[in-house]
Amino acid sequence: MTHKITLIPGDGIGPEVMNAVTRILDASGVKFEWETVLAGAEAYEKYREYVPKALTESVERTRVALKGPITTPIGGGFASINVQLRKQFDLYANFRPVSNLPHIPTRYPDIDLVVIRENTEGLYSGLEHEVVPGVVESLKVMTEKACTRIARFAFEYARRKQRKKVHAVHKANIMKLSDGLFLRCSRNVAKEYPEITYGEHIVDNTCMQLVMNPYQYDMLVMENLYGDIISDLCAGLVGGLGLVPSANLGDQGAIFEAVHGSAPDIAGRNLANPTALLRSALLMLNHIGEPDAANNIQSALEEIYRHRDQLTRDVGGKAGTSEFADAVIQTMQSGSTVE
Ligand code: NAI
């Protein structure tokens, strides 16, 4: 069977890490037909649209996309393409598993956390306007529907994977209405899953607790902006942004992407670590029903990290992006470590 997948290379380090990852995927034995489409500033240059029709049509057709990071201008310019895509396809659940790779020096071994982030509303939507010069308003819109479905997503996942605890992360002491609604919905859903322990932590305390003792958590569910921040914190627990995957999931489709951004400071220099996008691609392989290929790549990846010779600079190695990909492919195909 050939899988049709929409491929959005993104910009900055996007095309480099994407090239490395698609080479590994193509070498895995699974057959792919990649539909490559542009998004963001490059798409605008070509089509005068940041999310061109070709991209929308492709995702509607394939329902699965692998995406590189896309730069969002700071303090002006166009709205985030990432936010637009998540809203456009109603990819309401951002799923971010966080775990260690072998031999990456971190403060804590054996981290196994899942961060579930509501992906379609909240302050992260960027609904802002200038009331009068010098006064701006930023809107945090929360709905019972979205809060309930993200809580249900978290608990369903916990039940399916036999995870023990779900914590709702909030700031309902201050945002009594919006985060209060989020908590009410989470509590209601939690009642339907008596085998799973339900807890609530205020977001600032959660950050401190994660740094002091991450093992107290199993799964965390939260609104959009807190999820953005907490998931980067969690990436730091296991070695950094170059390592952590994510999936944007909804009923109409799925977009798999790394947690990190376009890293303009290292773009175009063959320095980026493709591990995060590769691990996102492993989530994609499981999603499309190719778990064996996912397991093979995962084993090769772990072997590379155990051996340490072919790691990228962000994790203490000397290899470039493409050499790292070569090493994964060679290990996967030979079943042994690259010398
Ligand atoms: P960033 O994640 O691009 O970079 C933060 C730091 O981590 C930099 O020092 C970078 O070199 C390093 N880093 C990130 N990915 C790496 C990798 N794969 N290998 C090695 N080092 C890596 O975050 P920043 O600088 O805040 O954002 C840059 C741009 O990316 C912004 O325009 C932002 O809006 C966009 N962005 C896009 C995302 C997406 O498309 N999903 C997600 C996050 C940010």
Q: Which atom of ligand 1 is nearest to the CA of 265?
A: 11
Q: How far is the CA of 308 from the centre of ligand 1 (A)?
A: 24
| Per-residue confidence band for 339, with pLDDT thresholds at 50, 70 and 90 | very low
How large is the average pLDDT for residues 222-230? 97
pLDDT at residue 75 greater than cutoff 90:
no
pLDDT at residue 338 greater than cutoff 60:
no
pLDDT score of 149:
98
pLDDT score of 40:
87
Q: How far is the CA of 128 from the centre of ligand 1 (A)?
A: 24
Q: What's the pLDDT tens digit per position in 204-223?
A: 999 999 999 999 999 999 99
Mean pLDDT, the chain, whole residue set: 94
pLDDT at residue 337 greater than cutoff 80:
no
Helix intervals (H) in 241-313 = 275-287, 291-307
pLDDT at residue 257 greater than cutoff 60:
yes
User: What is 124-166 written as a DSSP string?
Assistant: GG-EEEEEETTEEEEE----HHHHHHHHHHHHHHHHHTT--EE
Instruction: Return the residue whose CA atom lies nearest to atom 11 of ligand 1.
Output: 263
Q: How far is the CA of 334 from the centre of ligand 1 (A)?
A: 33
Q: What's the pLDDT tens digit per position in 263-308?
A: 999 999 999 999 999 999 999 999 999 999 999 999 999 999 998 8
pLDDT score of 81:
87
Q: Beta 254-258 vs 64-67: how paired, if at all?
A: parallel
Select from 241, 246, 311 the residue to mutate for testing ligand 1; criterion: most ligand atoms less than 8 Å from CB.
Answer: 241
**Ligand 1 first shell, C-beta below 6 A:** 13, 17, 69-72, 82, 241-242, 257, 260-266, 272-273, 276, 314
pLDDT score of 22:
98
Instruction: Return the residue whose CA atom lies nearest to atom 24 of ligand 1.
Output: 261
CA atoms of 261 and 240, how far apart (whole Å) = 12
Q: What's the pLDDT tens digit per position in 77-100?
A: 888 888 888 989 999 999 999 999
3-state secondary structure of 6: strand
Q: How far is the CA of 33 from the centre of ligand 1 (A)?
A: 28
Q: Which atom of ligand 1 is nearest to the CA of 69?
A: 40
Q: How far is the CA of 263 from the centre of ligand 1 (A)?
A: 4
Query: What is the pTM assigned to this prediction?
Result: 0.94
pLDDT score of 336:
54
Instruction: Return the residue whose CA atom lies nearest to atom 38 of ligand 1.
Output: 261
Percent helix, percent strand, percent coil in the chain, to nearest 5: 45, 20, 35
Q: What's the pLDDT tens digit per position in 9-30?
A: 999 999 999 999 999 999 999 9
How large is the average pLDDT for residues 176-205? 98
Instruction: Return the residue whose CA atom lies nearest to atom 23 of ligand 1.
Output: 261
Task: For the chain, list the domains and their CATH numbers.
Answer: 1-106+239-339 (3.40.718.10), 121-237 (3.40.50.2300)
Q: What's the pLDDT tens digit per position in 125-170?
A: 889 999 999 999 999 999 999 999 999 999 999 999 999 999 999 9
More confident residue, 116 or 126: 116
Helix intervals (H) in the chain = 14-26, 41-47, 53-62, 81-88, 144-160, 178-190, 203-212, 224-237, 275-287, 291-307, 321-334
Q: Which atom of ligand 1 is nearest to the CA of 274?
A: 18
